[in-house]
A and B are shown apart, each in its own frame.
Chain A
Amino acid sequence: MAVSYKAVGWNRQKRIYDGVVLAGVLSYLGLFVGSGIVLDAQATLETLLIRGLGTCAFLLLTIILSIGPLARLDDRFLPLLYNRRHLGVTMSVVALAHGVLSLVQFHAFGDLNPLVSVLVSPGRWEGVAGFPFQPLGLAALVILLLMAATSHDFWLANLTAPTWKRLHMLVYVAWALLVLHVALGALYGERHPALVAVLAVAVAWVLLVHGAGALRERRLDPDSVPGARDFVRVCPVDAIPENRARIVSLSGERVALFRYDGKVSAISNVCQHQNGPLGEGCVLDGLVTCPWHGYQYRPHDGTSPPPYAEKVPTFRVRIVDGVVEVHPRPLPAGTPVEPARIPGHPPTEATP
């Protein structure tokens, strides 16, 4: 969280994360180029670098696309999600290096502008066989660079989270373009079955984890109480673990019911930062803490503690016969709501 503009909000976790990513990228490139020199005497250093950077970028993109659904399926992947943004920027830089080297190697010494040369490179546009693969890679690179340029809370705040999310969903378009870029490019000449198998496994993996994640999300969005106008019985109060939440879907949106200090409060499940699932977080020091990036909100009014200013909508809540009931109409973000007290629990100190 930050109350003013910072280029990068460094902390220990981010430094470790970035150090591991950088070491991983350099190690991969070193191994790729080193083994290439030994195994392929015909390949030049530039060619090995182009191939190494390209495969590294695709591998990173596969990992990045896997982190989101994996974190939804298993909490142990949440640490990877924390600094995924830096991983994405790293991937874009590696992809840019691949693109620039390819441009220099194959297009820089002719009469045409190199970028024009990429777009008019020989190929058959009317079919898949012989389709020019380089424009596909260029289009994907443009998307990745646009995403990298807007991978900052400055843009997130100014574009608003939904718009920013829509923009960054273009990563799936970039991914599809890159799959074709590889299939029609590198695999057009290199016919070893192992290379085809590696690409097929990577594609299948991304599709499988996203399919599993989408199915899980769909189960969380039942349309059981659409358009309810009065309090809705949700669950027994004992079904909510202490300092954790239960997520329910009301009137088409998700609400997180937090149990803490003998009380229950209901706030929107959507974090203001990157729309993270607040209900999958926990209550730390009396504050609801988002599992993605640690943004915090007071459970009774959905407001971040000073000096921060983020707010999420709140919901009226009550407990009747040991069952939690929530009013489905959201109150304006930051509206204080009296928490429902759990019978049999003594009142504690004032809400922070």
Chain B
Amino acid sequence: MIRPLRTRHRRTVAALWIVVPALLAWALLSRPPQPRMDDLPAWRGEATPAGHPRRVAGTPFELDGVRAEAAVFSRGVERHLRLRLLERSVAPDLLAYWTAGAGKDGGDGLPADATLLGRVPGTREIVWRLPADGGSIVLYSLAHQRRVASGALPTGSAGESRGGEPRGGEES
């Protein structure tokens, strides 16, 4: 007869009442925050003198592994990287990471402290805010699980102010 089956069903439902909401809440609350670039300043022609970005001395700089235009700009304590690949990379899903070190740590993989900046949009120009002054940039192929290019970011005071301001689209 099926009374034991009904009892088992009731117990299953009771267990689901506890387990599923708890796991669902845990899964949703455990999601790491997504880095967003929504708060990048609108720099296209409306920069004010006070908030004007300035090119950091030592830029443009080069990446080893890929031909690219790369420059670092400062605005106050903020540092921004403008990047445009000059050749189309054969690696799909190319991601840009910032690391505080020289960018050579981690072998062909990513350094342990790598911070995701965003996706490299082909040969389109892109601007990211950097977590800190200095450090390095690493371009990493998610599909191939290997480093494609890297380069040390220039550090120091701002140099020239106009003509080199970031123009690129803002990643969000």
Interface residue ranges, A against B (CB under 8 Å): 127-131, 161-162, 165-166, 169, 172, 175-176, 179-180, 183-184, 187-188, 191, 196, 199-200, 203-204, 207, 210-211, 214, 217-218, 221, 252-254, 268, 270, 275
- Offer 6 A-B interface pairs, CB within 8 angstroms, sorted by A: A165-B2, A183-B24, A183-B27, A217-B9, A253-B3, A275-B2
Instruction: Report yes or no: A210 in contact with B13, Cβ–Cβ below 8 A.
Output: yes
- Using Cβ atoms and an 8 Å threshold, which residues of chain B touch A130? 32
The residue from A161, A172, A217 contacting B16, defined by CB atoms under 8 A apart: A172
Q: Which residues of B contact A161 (CB under 8 A)?
A: 2
Q: In the complex, are the beta carbons of A180 and B24 less than 8 A apart? A: yes
Roughly how many angstroms separate A199 CA and B30 CA in the complex, as a whole number?
Answer: 16
Residue of A whose beta carbon sits closest to that of B142: A122
Contact B26–A166 (Cβ < 8 Å): no
In the assembly, what is the distance between CA of A270 and CA of B1, in Å? 8
Determine if B23 and A180 form an interchain contact, defined as CB atoms under 8 angstroms apart: yes
Q: In the complex, which residues of chain B have a beta carbon less than 8 angstroms from the beta carbon of A131? A: 27
B45 at interface by CB-CB < 8 Å: no
Please tell me which one of the listed residues B17, B30, B34 contacts residue A207 in the complex, with CB atoms under 8 A apart: B17
Q: A130–B31 Cα gap in the complex (Å)?
A: 8
Q: CA A199 – CA B27 in complex, angstroms?
A: 12
CB distance from B8 to the nearest CB of A (A): 7
Given contacts A199-B24, A207-B17, A253-B1, contact A221 B6 (CB under 8 A): yes
Given A176-B20, A207-B21, verify A218-B10 contact (CB < 8 Å).
Answer: yes
Q: Complex Cα distance A214/B12, Å?
A: 10
Question: Does B5 reach chain A (CB closer than 8 Å)?
Answer: yes
Q: Give chain B interface residues in 23-51, CB to chain A under 8 Å.
A: 23-24, 26-28, 30-32, 34
Most buried by A among B12, B27, B30: B27
Partner of A187, one of B5, B8, B10, B28: B28
What's the tally of chain B residues with a CB closer than 8 Å to chain A?
A: 25
Give chain A nearest CB distance to B110 CB in angstroms: 12
B112 within 8 A of A: no
**B19 an interface residue at 8 Å Cβ cutoff?**
yes
Pair A180/B3 contact, Cβ less than 8 Å: no
- Cβ contact of B5, chosen from A199, A203, A204, A275, cutoff 8 A: A275
Given A169-B9, A253-B1, A203 contacting B21 (CB threshold 8 A)? yes
- The answer to whether B1 and A169 have CB atoms under 8 Å apart is no
Instruction: List, in ascending order, chain A residues with CB within 8 A of B14's CB.
Output: 214
Partner of B12 from the list A127, A169, A180, A188 (CB cut-off 8 Å) is A169
* CB-contact partner of B13 in A196, A199, A214, under 8 A: A214
Residue of A nearest to B26 (CB): A128
**A275 CA to B24 CA, complexed, in Å:** 33
Residues of A within 8 A of B3 (CB): 221, 252-254
Nearest B residue to A110, CB-CB: B143
Bound form: Cα–Cα A132–B21 in Å:
19
CB contacts (< 8 Å) of B17 on chain A: these are 207, 211
B116 to chain A, nearest CB (A): 13
Name the B residues within 8 Å of A275 (CB-CB). 2, 5
The chain A residue with its CB closest to the CB of B1 is A253
Rounded to whole Å, the gap between the CB of A275 and the closest CB of chain B is 5
Q: Which residues of A contact B10 (CB under 8 A)?
A: 214, 217-218
The 10 closest A-B pairs by CB, nearest first: A129-B30, A183-B27, A128-B30, A210-B13, A214-B10, A253-B1, A214-B13, A275-B2, A128-B26, A184-B27
In the complex, the answer to whether A176 meets B16 with C-beta atoms within 8 Å is yes
Are the C-beta atoms of A217 and B24 separated by less than 8 Å?
Answer: no
